[in-house]
């Protein structure tokens, strides 16, 4: 292959590289519907987790108060039984009555504290059920969107593999040093390592090229001529 042909082939390699860049970019672009469905699922999961954590705390308080309530009720029953057996005079009767009254007030306090907690427990349980229902309802839609996105990615990767194979074969026919230098330039220049020039201007950076640079680049000989401004390889395409 002549020197001009080497640069033209390198330019074709770049077209494949740009197509591969596009495919990679497309692979990372997620459909709006899928993004929204994932965000909705995350919101439901977070809300459900918050509800369950709060419910756990409420139920812990309920269990503690119910235990205290049951203990106080048992103490009342025990004191009443002892009162019946042992209160043989007015003084002992009064002592038992005072203890029973204090325990009764404690029972009332526990019952009053439990009432709003039971209400809160019911509200949180209902909220958790609603969120689980939302999660179940969303699952088929999200699954369908995930499957479609996976199929999209598989298709893009298959297309990319075909491009990579063509690029490999094409690059194999070009001097390895030229390809390596092009790749270095491409990495540092936003994916473009070789550019055309028209009207005396570099298409990579739009700088007016010196006449001698234009003349040498138009010959298409190696070593490849670079733009003195942006450092990209220059090529003059012929119809």
Cα–Cα distance between 101 and 95 in angstroms, integer? 10
Same domain, 162 and 136: yes
Q: What is the DSSP string of 17-53?
A: HHHHHHHHHHHH---HHHHHHHHHHHHHHHHHHHHHH
| pLDDT for residue 83 | 86
Cα radius of gyration rounded to whole Å, the chain: 40
Q: Which domain holds residue 186?
A: 1-27+175-239
Same domain, 91 and 166: yes
Task: Among 172, 193, 222, give the residue marking a domain's end.
Answer: 172
The strand pair at 194-198 and 201-202 is best described as antiparallel
- Report whether 35 contacts 199 (CB < 8 A): no
Per-residue pLDDT of 3-24, as tens digits, reads 568 999 999 999 999 999 999 9
Per-residue pLDDT of 158-202, as tens digits, reads 999 999 999 999 999 999 999 999 999 999 999 999 999 999 999
Buried b (16+ CB within 10 A) or exposed e, 162-188: ebeeebeebbeebbeebbebbeebbee
* pLDDT tier for residue 239 given thresholds of 50, 70 and 90: low
Please, which contacts does 134-143 make with residues 24 or more away whose CB atoms are closer than 8 Å?
Answer: 134/44, 135/41, 135/44, 135/45, 135/48, 138/37, 138/40, 138/41, 138/44, 141/37, 142/34, 142/37, 142/38, 142/41
For the full predicted model, state whether its pTM sits above 0.75: no
Say if residue 197 is preceded by a cis peptide, omega within 30 of 0. Answer: no
- Compare 207 and 91 and report the one with higher pLDDT: 207
Task: Among 127, 156, 172, give the residue marking a domain's end.
Answer: 172
Same domain, 110 and 225: no
Q: What is the DSSP string of 55-75?
A: HHHHHHHHHHHHHHHHHHHHH
Report the CATH number that the domain containing residue 181 is assigned in CATH: 1.10.287.1490
- Residue 92, pLDDT > 90, answer no
- Look at the chain and count its residues: 239
Same domain, 49 and 167: yes
Same domain, 225 and 200: yes
User: For residue 147, how many other CB atoms are within 10 A of its CB?
Assistant: 10
Same domain, 115 and 201: no
Same domain, 47 and 91: yes
pLDDT, average across residues 96-109: 94
Report the CATH number that the domain containing residue 107 is assigned in CATH: 1.10.287
Percent of the chain with pLDDT over 90: 88
Same domain, 164 and 193: no
Q: How many domains does the chain have?
A: 2
Same domain, 12 and 49: no
H/E element, 238: none
Same domain, 83 and 168: yes
- Residue 143, pLDDT > 70, answer yes
Same domain, 104 and 210: no
- Spatial CA neighbour of 116 closest among 60, 54, 49, 62: 62
Rounded mean pLDDT of the chain? 94
Task: Among 131, 153, 172, give the residue marking a domain's end.
Answer: 172
Same domain, 114 and 222: no
| pLDDT for residue 4 | 60
């Amino acid at each position: 292959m002549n020197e001009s042909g080497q640069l033209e082939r390198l330019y074709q390699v770049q077209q494949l590289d740009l197509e591969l860049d596009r495919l990679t970019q497309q692979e990372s672009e997620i459909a709006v519907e899928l993004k929204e469905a994932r965000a909705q699922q995350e919101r439901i999961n977070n809300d459900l987790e918050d509800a369950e954590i709060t419910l756990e705390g409420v139920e812990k308080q309920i269990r503690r108060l119910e235990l205290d309530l049951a203990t106080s009720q048992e103490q009342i029953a025990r004191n009443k039984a002892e009162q019946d057996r042992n209160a043989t005079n007015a003084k002992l009767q009064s002592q038992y009555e005072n203890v029973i009254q204090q325990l009764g007030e404690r029972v009332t306090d526990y019952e009053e504290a439990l009432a709003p907690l039971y209400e809160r427990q019911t509200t949180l349980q209902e909220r958790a059920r609603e969120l689980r229902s939302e999660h179940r309802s969303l699952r088929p839609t999200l699954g369908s969107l995930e499957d479609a996105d996976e199929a999209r990615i598989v298709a893009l990767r298959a297309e990319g593999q075909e491009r990579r194979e063509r690029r490999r074969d094409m690059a194999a026919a070009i001097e390895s040093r030229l390809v390596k230098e092009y790749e270095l330039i491409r990495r540092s220049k936003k994916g473009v390592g070789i550019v055309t020039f028209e009207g005396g201007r570099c298409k990579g950076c739009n700088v007016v090229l010196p006449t001698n640079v234009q003349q040498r680049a138009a010959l298409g000989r190696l070593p490849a001529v670079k733009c003195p401004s942006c450092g990209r390889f220059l090529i003059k395409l012929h119809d």
